[in-house]
Amino acid sequence: MSGRVIVITSGKGGVGKTTASANIGVALANTGASVALVDMDIGLRNLDILMGLENRVVYNLVDVIEGRCKLRQALVKDKRVPNLSLLPAAQTRDKTAVNAEQMKTLCEELSTLFDFVVVDSPAGIESGFQNAIAGAHEAIVICTPEMSAVRDADRIIGLLEACKDQITEYRLVINRIRPHMVKNADMMSVDDVLEILSVKLLGVVPEDEEIITSTNRGEPVSGTDNTRSGLAFRNIARRLRGDDVPLMDLDLPTTGWMNRIVKFFAPNTARV
Amino acid sequence: MSLFNWLFRVDDAASGIANRNTKNSAQVTAKDRMRNMLTHDRLELPAGRLQILEEELIAVVSRYFDLDKETTHFDLQQFDRKAALIANFRLIRSKC
């Protein structure tokens, strides 16, 4: 078996790479596929927190590469979805602890064990990024509809274009869109960003406070059914598996006056 | 904000309509700046270099033609991630 190795990257930090990695990993695993999540942000480990697995980390990616443990020993099985495993980054090392060749070998080995290998890339375009893409066949570029994020995404797309032979497909996820601001012409729309970047769209994720709550709980939103961001990530996972899923209607919760009434009287519980 | 306004976002809706009617919305500004910036980024061309090229091209064309320099238009445009240099020289008469 040879699984798909997908790198999640953005250039700019703070646009939601790790959140997207965790959620896409969980959503893919919930479709029945076996998934390995690889945290490549060596020295700034966070994916374990988002997954709620930080207390179960024993070995890490650098331990595997340096031969201190077997790959299987370093993989942390998810507590909710059994076919999902995390390969944590090292927290006390830095990006120079691994090289591209080692990453390629590691990704190859993981792809013999899992249907999907989802690699969470660090921010930036230096060695950490180069290592993260070294073993990937596909890429997901995350950006928010802000100018700095779009500019950095464009740079990343240029770099991915340059290794076309290895990374045969890349698609864009527009994260943290605020439908209300787009409506008021205060912010670039999904179409604006797509037109500027001339790139294929994989999905759109609305800004959602539930992301913060879910991070605090260590339970990615895509694992529960009642959040809009979670639905968006599940749709992305289905598209990755080849399903033709239309973009969700982003307008629903901000314009519905019934919603406002419900929210007004029960601000903490309403989630329509 | 009154409850009515809050429920129906009347103020926002009104400002949205106002914004859409102008070419100065933050959305349009961002998109225009973005397009311009990325065209230069992709070419690895500092924006100031284009200004120099423009002056040099005008000087060359001016050797052959009298130009209407006011309406001469010089622009970098993007077609599917590839840039095109669009120069529009208004010619008055030949100098030959």
What is the SS3 assignment for chain B? CCHHHHHHCHHHHHHHHHHHHCCCCHHHHHHHHHHHHHHHHHHCCCHHHHHHHHHHHHHHHHHHEEECCCCCEEEEEEECCEEEEEEECCEEEECC
Structure tokens at B43: 């070419």
For the cut 70, the answer to whether the pLDDT of residue B11 exceeds it is: no
Q: Give the mutation candidate from B1, B3, B7 for the A interface (greatest A CB count, under 10 A).
A: B7
Mean pLDDT score of chain A: 92
Window from A8-22, A205-219, A242-256 with minimum mean pLDDT: A242-256
Task: Determine the 3-state secondary structure of A68 from DSSP.
Answer: coil
Pairing of strands A35-39, A84-87: parallel
Chain B: residues touching A (Cβ < 8 Å):
3, 6-9, 12, 15-16, 19-20, 25-28, 30-31, 33-35, 37-38, 41-42, 78, 80-81
Quick one: which of A107, A132, A101, A102 has its CA closest to A36?
A: A107
Q: Which residue in A has a C-alpha nearest to residue B22's C-alpha?
A: A185
- Taking residues A180-198, report their average pLDDT: 94
Q: What is the pLDDT of residues B40-91, one digit of tens each?
A: 999 988 888 888 998 999 999 999 999 998 888 888 888 877 889 999 999 9
Contact A187 B26 (CB under 8 A): yes
Q: What is the pLDDT of residue B4?
A: 55
Residue A225 — pLDDT band, cuts 50, 70, 90?
confident
Q: Is A247 on the interface with B (CB under 8 A)?
A: no
Mean pLDDT calculated for residue range A217-228: 92
β-sheet bridge partners, residue A37: A86, A118
Residue A142: its H or E element: strand A138-143
Dump pLDDT digits (tens) for A235-255. 999 999 999 999 988 875 544
Lowest-pLDDT range, A109-113, A116-120, A195-199?
Answer: A195-199
The pLDDT of residue B80 is: 76
**d(CA B80, nearest CA chain A) in Å:** 6
Model confidence at B18: pLDDT above 80? no
Q: What tokens were used for A75?
A: 């993989």
Query: Using CA atoms, how far apart are residues A72 and A4, in angstroms rounded to an integer?
Result: 19
DSSP state of A224: S
- pLDDT tens digits, residue range B54-64? 899 999 999 99
Chain B residues in contact with A255 by the CB 8 A cut-off are: 9
Of B8, B27, B31, the CB nearest to A196: B31
pTM of the full structure: 0.83
Confidence of residue A176 (pLDDT cuts 50, 70, 90): very high
Residues of chain B contacting residue A195, judged by C-beta atoms under 8 Å apart: 31
Pairing of strands A76-77, A84-87: antiparallel
- B74 forms beta bridges with B87
Give the residue extent of every domain in chain A. Answer: 4-265
Query: Range with the lowest mean pLDDT among A166-175, A207-216, B70-79?
Result: B70-79
Pairing type for strands A116-120 and A35-39 reads parallel
- DSSP letter at A65 equals H
Q: Are A223 and A26 in contact (CB under 8 A)?
A: yes
pLDDT at A257: 63
A270 has a pLDDT exceeding 50? no
**Least CA distance to A264: which residue of chain B?**
B7
- B80 vs A198: CB contact, 8 Å cut-off? yes
Q: Which two tokens stand for residue B84?
A: 């095109």
**Alpha helices of chain A — where are they, by DSSP H?**
17-30, 47-50, 61-65, 71-74, 100-113, 127-134, 147-162, 179-183, 190-197, 210-217, 228-240, 252-255, 257-265
* pLDDT tens digits, one per residue of A51-101: 999 999 999 999 999 999 999 999 999 989 999 999 999 999 888 899 999
What residues contact residue A114 under an 8 Å CB cut-off, 6+ apart?
A3, A33, A34, A35, A36, A85
Superfamily of domain A4-265: P-loop containing nucleotide triphosphate hydrolases (3.40.50.300)
Q: Domain limits of chain B?
A: 10-94
Helix (H) or strand (E) segment spanning residue A172: strand A169-177
Listed as own residue / partner, the contacts of B37-43 with beta carbons closer than 8 Å and 24 or more positions apart are: B37/A147, B37/A151, B38/A150, B38/A151, B38/A154, B38/A196, B38/A197, B38/B78, B39/B76, B39/B77, B39/B78, B39/B83, B40/B76, B41/A151, B41/A154, B41/A155, B42/A154, B42/A158, B42/B78, B42/B81, B42/B83, B43/B76, B43/B83
User: Residue B24 has what pLDDT?
Assistant: 80
